[in-house]
Amino acid sequence: MTSRLFKEAAAAAIVLLSLNSVAQAENDACTTATLKGTYGTKIHAQALGILTGTAPNQVFHPYAARGVVDGVALQTFDGAGAGTQKDFVMLDGARTPGSPPDFESNEMLSYTMNADCTGELRITFPSGNLITSRFVVVDQGNEMFGVTSAQHNAGGPPALDLTPCDKGCDLAIQTSTHSVRVGEGRGHEHER
C-alpha cells in the first residue's frame, strides 16, 4: 500500500511540475507590452548599394564605395505597438548633408511582437525614409538585437552603374542594432 501511495504522489508531483512549466512558459510569452519604456540603441551598418525590382528577385547595384554607418538612438515604446525615436548617425565619419548638428527627432515607430519574443519594427522618418527591422527581445524585455530587413530612402546618390535614387529607392544595407532599456524600469519584471 505504501508503494502505491508513493507512486501516486510521485505521479501527482510530475503532473503539477508539468503544469507549472506550461504556466511559466505562458507567463514568459512576449506581447507588444513587453516593449514599454525607453531604450538606448547602438547602430552599425554598411550601405552597399541600390536594389531594383521586387523581392525576392531584386537586382543589386553596388555603390562605388561602401558607406560605413555608425549611430546611436533613443527609442521610446508605448507598449501598444507605437513609439518615437531620435537618433544621431554618422556616414563615413561625417554627418550626411542636410542633417542637423544635433539629434534628429520626430521619427515614428510601429512594431509587432510575437509570443516567442521575435518581432518587426518600422521606423518612419520625416524625410520619407522607411526602415523595417526584425528583432529579438531578451532578458524580460530589457534588451533587443536587430537587423534591417528593408530600407527605402526618399532620395540619395546613384549606384556605380548610375542606377538612380533621386526619386526614391530601396537600399542594400547591412545593419545591426543592440538596444538596452534605460531608466527606472531596468532590471525589474515588467508588465507583459
- pLDDT tens digits, 94-114: 997 778 889 999 999 999 999
pLDDT of residue 63: 97
**Gap between the Cα atoms of 103 and 190, Å rounded:** 29
- Stated as kind and residue range, the H or E segment containing 191 is none
Indicate if 21 and 89 belong to the same structural domain: no
- Please tell me the number of Cα atoms within 13 Å of 78 on its side-chain side: 9
Catalogue the long-range contacts made by 60-64 (C-beta closer than 8 Å, 24 or more residues apart): 60/172, 61/159, 61/160, 61/161, 61/163, 62/159, 62/160, 62/172, 63/157, 63/159, 63/160, 64/160
Residue 189 lies in a domain: no
Length of the chain, in residues:
192
Indicate if 132 and 49 belong to the same structural domain: yes
pLDDT of residue 48: 97
Tell how strand 104-113 and strand 82-91 pair up: antiparallel
pLDDT of residue 8: 57
pLDDT score of 126 more than 80: yes
**Gap between the Cα atoms of 105 and 108, Å rounded:** 9
Indicate if 102 and 149 belong to the same structural domain: yes
The burial of 55, by beta-carbon neighbours within 10 Å (0-12 exposed, 13-18 middle, 19 or more buried), is given as exposed
Binning the chain into helix, strand and coil, the percentages to the nearest 5 are 15, 50, 30
Domain of residue 169 covers 32-182
Segment 68-95, tens digit of pLDDT: 999 999 999 999 999 999 999 999 999 9
- Please tell me the number of Cα atoms within 13 Å of 109 on its side-chain side: 28
Q: What is the count of structural domains for the chain?
A: 2
Question: Sorting pLDDT into bands at 50, 70 and 90, what band is 187?
Answer: low
Indicate if 7 and 68 belong to the same structural domain: no
Indicate if 73 and 15 belong to the same structural domain: no
Q: What is the pTM of this model?
A: 0.80
pLDDT of residue 96: 78
**What is the mean pLDDT of the segment spanning 139-167?**
96
Segment 1-30, tens digit of pLDDT: 455 544 554 444 444 344 333 333 345 799
Indicate if 80 and 3 belong to the same structural domain: no
pLDDT of residue 5: 45
Average pLDDT, the chain: 86
